[in-house]
Amino acid sequence: MSDPAPPVLRVRDLAVFAGEKPLLRRASFEVGEREVFGIIGPSGAGKTTLLRALNRLVELIPGLRVAGEVELRGQPIAGLEVNALRARVGMIFQQPVIFPTSIAENVLFAARRLRPLSRSERMALTEHALREAALWAEVRDRLHAPALSLSAGQQQRLCIARALAVDPEVLLMDEPTSALDPKSTHAIEELILRLKATHTIVLVTHNAAQARRVTDWLACVCIRDGVGEIVESACCATMLDSPQCREVVEYLEHTR
């Protein structure tokens, strides 16, 4: 019998320290191919820090130190070239980060700098990425308009298009809908479900209903003894319907 496919991401005993003070500890989980892995938990528990450790974005913050192991398709990410890793593991932030340039320029912002693209390839990639991010129909007539003229929901989808243009294997999403209205939130959730067919997604969310709608597997990060920890990890429905851990029960009651 052949071995089952290795997980896309394997996190083992991950810990993050600010100086000597631990912020997060003993985080271990696996994310399978084309799975939406949700991370829930109260504010300040370390969800974002955990997410940022997965593409080594924590290294940008002076004083933060990471211990433990994260593997991307079996390779320890600590041994990968950091920029190549970040191109493979894209990130969508809580607030859409739009560069003060045109819509098309934003889509190609990283892609055209990471590999040479002909004019026709640029056009094709812009369209492809915007279609994948479900934004093409809304902006096809104004690709050269300032991206800042878009609504917040459109801006967030533009950020997703920009990340997709680099062709990542994994998308990390840090509460991508928390700054959006319900309609835009719905559009992003639809998009996550569609992107799942081609990408592996790790989603930090504050919203249990959203977690139920889009995630396959959930981990709940809570604070124990002053340090963030994954207190429970289970299949989405199991965690939400019959949580085992006291902290998770309290958190879910609080969010209802």
| Contact residues for other proteins, defined by CB under 8 A | 55, 57, 60, 83-88, 90-91, 93, 95, 97, 99-101, 109-110, 113-114, 159, 162-163, 166
**CB of 165 or CB of 234, closer to other proteins:** 165
- Of 185, 188, 106, 182, nearest to 149 by C-alpha is 106
35, two tokens: 């799975």
With H, G, I as helix, E, B as strand and everything else as coil, classify residue 140. Answer: coil
List the beta bridge partners of residue 229: 25, 222
Smallest distance, other proteins to C-beta of residue 65, A? 17
Smallest distance, other proteins to C-beta of residue 250, A? 32
Sheet strand arrangement including 170-174: 75-76, 64-72, 9-18, 21-31, 227-235, 217-224, 36-40, 200-204, 170-174, 89-92
**CB of 45 or CB of 51, closer to other proteins:** 51
**CB of 81 or CB of 225, closer to other proteins:** 81
**CB of 57 or CB of 143, closer to other proteins:** 57
Smallest distance, other proteins to C-beta of residue 84, A? 7
Smallest distance, other proteins to C-beta of residue 113, A? 5
**CB of 103 or CB of 248, closer to other proteins:** 103
Smallest distance, other proteins to C-beta of residue 97, A? 4
In this structure, the strands spanning 89-92 and 9-18 are unpaired
Smallest distance, other proteins to C-beta of residue 20, A? 19
* Distance separating alpha carbons of residues 108 and 106, to the nearest angstrom: 5
**CB of 87 or CB of 188, closer to other proteins:** 87
207, two tokens: 């919203």
Smallest distance, other proteins to C-beta of residue 165, A? 9
**With contact defined as beta carbons under 8 Å apart, do 63 and 239 qualify?**
no
CA 164 to chain centre: 12
**CB of 27 or CB of 172, closer to other proteins:** 172
**At CB < 8 A and 24+ separation, what contacts does 237-240 make?**
237/212, 240/208, 240/211, 240/212
**With contact defined as beta carbons under 8 Å apart, do 47 and 245 qualify?**
no
